[in-house]
Amino acid sequence: MKRKEKNPDFSRTLGRIDEAIIDVLRHDGRITYQKLATLVHLTASPCQERVRKLERLGVIRGYGAFIDVQKVSPGLSLQVLVAISSQNRRTAQKAFEACVDSCSQVLECHLISGPFDYSLRMHCTDMKHYRALTEVWLENEDLCIDKLVAYPELAVVKHSSTHHD
């Protein structure tokens, strides 16, 4: 997984209207410029210019669809915490990040602080599939995985603002 460079703090340069545009697009990326303009109290042309500016700045990175993973690929969703051993730590982190980046079962990977180094969101066909996958990781000496702790998801209580029901 590639780490992002530190992003400039756009929150100080974004105005109230930019923030309103972002809020609307976060919930409805398919809205027309005319409807968006009405909601943020602009005409269509200046609204479109502001959206394009937000895209150029990288504030708006793209648009997409919200996919129900369980309908497309029924199975087991898990939150997995991973600790890398302290030997060859930086080399092991790079190897681990490359491994999860190429693994389609890993939906998200976050570098975290605390007793664990990574938090993963995974989707496997079942627990047997998860065990087979993680056993390969544990046997790979380049990854230096010290500990894996998995928490199967029972239900999603609240989606992030970028994921709808």
Same domain, 88 and 46: no
pLDDT recorded at residue 26: 87
Same domain, 96 and 141: yes
Q: Which CATH number belongs to the domain containing residue 144 in this structure?
A: 3.30.70.920
Q: Is residue 63 part of a domain?
A: no
Token readout for 165 is 């029901």
Where in the sequence is the domain holding 114, given as residue range(s)? 69-152
The tally of domains found in the chain comes to 2
- High-pLDDT (> 90) share of the chain, %: 72
Same domain, 40 and 74: no
The amino acid sitting at 80 is: V
pLDDT recorded at residue 69: 75
Q: Give this prediction's pTM.
A: 0.72
Token readout for 103 is 């693994």
> Which residues have CB under 8 Å from 140's CB, separation 6+?
95, 99
pLDDT recorded at residue 161: 60
Same domain, 38 and 99: no
Task: Supply the DSSP symbol for 156.
Answer: -
Token readout for 51 is 């959206």
Nearest alpha carbon to residue 107 among 78, 136, 84: 78
Cβ neighbours of 131 (radius 10 Å):
12
